[in-house]
Structure 1
Amino acid sequence: MTLTELRYLVAVARERHFGRAAEACHVSQPTLSVAIKKLEEELDVKLFERGGNEVSVTALGQELVRQAQVVLEQAALMREIAKRGSDPLAGPLRLGVIYTIGPYLLPALVRQVIARTPQMPLLLQENFTVKLLEMLRTGELDCAILAEPFPDTGLALAPLYDEPFRVVVPAGHALAARQVISAEELKRETLLLLGNGHCFRDHVLEVCPEFARFASGAEGIQKSFEGSSLETIKHMVASGLGITVLPELSVPREASHLHMLNFSAPVPSRRVVLAWRRSFTRYEAIAALRNAVMACELPGVQRINA
């Protein structure tokens, strides 16, 4: 068997579809199918159940896929060790970032990385926390910038910064004359939230738990709308559809149509961390990335230098 065949095996298991797996591997479907058939014949096992539009991994196939992931990671490690002989930072770093951090951190971070370690380009992936954790586990990502809390997956973590939350209202809103607001007062307003899957939605619900118990006719937040991104929600607020809660870095610095309020103490916040597999050995790359984050302008957040 070859490493290429093992990559095809992992891709089919991930995509549950030969066509999509071939696309992901940048080969034709017949090429991939022949390689999988050859692997099944060599191992004398059935790796996949083929039926309908999707394929499923057999019980034995799942064990072999896990082992293939280990082999591929170890092969990648050998390449990394060889590169580190001449430059420990040589080679791309595959970085994942959640949607509510990416647009506000990545532009400055990419500039810092290019200036500091041009030999270590970032290969970027924005996604939900759950998906990024899965990609870390399977070796598709080297590291990820996430917001705590998230399920304990045995990852190594380095704290980056604590980011407070702000309340944003339309410029003409009754609250626009205020500078400070309590979480309790939010339940009397129309609150605009991110949709399911965004961890920041859960953070807002912790700030305003009345919404989690909201039902028609009950006391609490009058009603809510869901947006697909923080930028969409900001436009909805500017249009007068309600108010919202934003993490500090996403708050517009100059916006005549919006007004920002601080929370009264205790101010809710989220901790942003850098996560990577404990088996990932490019320690210098992780340290360089963390230093690049710390060199970025991060107005309003509290950096963690520990």
Structure 2
Amino acid sequence: MTLTELRYIVAVARERHFGRAAEACFVSQPTLSVAIKKLEDELDVKIFERGASEVSVTPLGEDIVRQAQAVLDEAAAIKEIAKRGKDPLAGPLRLGIIYTIGPYLLPDLVKQTIEQVPQMPLMLQENFTVKLLEMLRTGELDCAIMAEPFPDTGLAIAPLYDEPFMVAVPRQHALAKRQSVTSEEVKRETMLLLGTGHCFRDHVLEVCPEFARFSSDAEGIRKSFEGSSLETIKHMVASGMGITVVPQLSVPRDPQPHVAYVPFHDPVPTRRVVLAWRRTFTRYEAIAALRNAVYGCELQGVQKLS
């Protein structure tokens, strides 16, 4: 059993395809296939089920792949220990971030990281929470910025900030002139929601569970209530199609001609934004540096957490 073979099975588990896994590992497909067959013969177990169009991981294979990733992490830690003697922050950090945080945090965060730790460039990946969790598990990402709650996957988690929600309404809407609005008032309006897969959609449905009926698979009117991004939904609000709920950091700092942003009345709904990483990830200084960079951002209107 070699580290190379372990890298191959982790790649196949991630790609669900021998050809793509071989490309990712910069080897030919026959080389990768032979190595994996050799490992399966050595262990006397079947790690993968080979189908016509897709490869699946067997239940026992899932455990083996998970342990293989842990072994690869530990092997990488040896190199990291050696690097630490020279510069503990040297090298890129692979950071994932969810769609409803990325556009509003990353510009300032990247600037702060360049200023504070120029030797640690960020390699960025925006995606849904479920995909980021999978990428963390398979080692494609080092850490991720997400919003709680999400499934307990045994990750190490550090809180970053609590972010209040606000209500976005058309500028001519009756609620636009209010100092604050209640959840009950919001429930009486036409609500525009993010599409399925966005965790912020679930946060909004917690505030206004009555709108959960739009999460069904029914065709027709449901589609007019969903958008692919917060910015798309804001344009829908500007055109008078309804109102929506947005996180504080997505609110423009300058007044907008067609959309007004109104705070919630107490109790204000919020989401907790956290930094998560595998417990086997050993670049502790890099995690600390990233947190410091986040705290160096302005984050107007949110409560930073130490």
Query: TM-score by structure 1 length?
Result: 0.90
Partner of 1:219: none
Partner of 2:272: 271
AA matched with 2:297? C
Distance change (3 Å), C-alpha of 1:25 and 1:215:
closer
How far off is 1:231 after superposition?
1.0
Structure 1, residues 171-190: CA drift from partner, whole Å, max 9, x if none?
22232222311110112111
Partner of 1:102: 102
Mapped to 2, the partners of 1:239 and 1:30 lie a distance apart of 56
Distance change (3 Å), C-alpha of 1:72 and 1:223:
closer
Structure 1, residues 193-212: CA drift from partner, whole Å, max 9, x if none?
11111111111111112222
On the 8 A contact 2:169/2:176 being kept in 1, the answer is yes
Aligned counterparts, 1:242-261, within 5 A: 242-254=242-254, 255-261=256-262
Mapped to 1, the partners of 2:266 and 2:170 lie a distance apart of 23
How far off is 1:42 after superposition?
4.8
Structure 1, residues 206-263: CA drift from partner, whole Å, max 9, x if none?
11122225799xxxxx996111111111111111111100000011223211111111
Mapped to 1, the partners of 2:64 and 2:203 lie a distance apart of 38
How far off is 1:82 after superposition?
0.8
Partner of 2:292: 291
AA matched with 1:265? D
On the 8 A contact 1:99/1:128 being kept in 2, the answer is yes
Structure 1, residues 63-95: CA drift from partner, whole Å, max 9, x if none?
432332122111111111111111111111111
Mean Cα deviation higher: 30-39 or 127-136: 30-39
Query: TM-score by structure 2 length?
Result: 0.90
Structure 1, residues 80-112: CA drift from partner, whole Å, max 9, x if none?
111111111111111111111011101111111
Runs of 5+ consecutive residues of structure 1 not aligned to the other structure: 217-221
AA matched with 2:244? T
Mapped to 2, the partners of 1:276 and 1:123 lie a distance apart of 15
On the 8 A contact 1:193/1:224 being kept in 2, the answer is no
Partner of 1:132: 132
AA matched with 2:296? A
Would you identify which runs of 4 or more consecutive aligned residues in structure 1 move more than 6 Å?
A: none
How far off is 1:45 after superposition?
4.5
Mapped to 2, the partners of 1:227 and 1:70 lie a distance apart of 38
Aligned partner of residue 209 in structure 2, secondary structure: coil
How far off is 1:153 after superposition?
2.4
Mapped to 1, the partners of 2:57 and 2:152 lie a distance apart of 26
CA RMSD of aligned residues (A): 2.2
Runs of 5+ consecutive residues of structure 2 not aligned to the other structure: 217-221
Aligned counterparts, 1:48-197, within 5 A: 48-197=48-197
Mapped to 1, the partners of 2:223 and 2:182 lie a distance apart of 19
Distance change (3 Å), C-alpha of 1:206 and 1:46:
closer
Count of aligned positions: 300
Mean Cα deviation higher: 119-128 or 285-294: 119-128
Aligned partner of residue 75 in structure 1, secondary structure: helix
Mean Cα deviation higher: 229-238 or 3-12: 3-12
Identity of aligned residues (%): 79
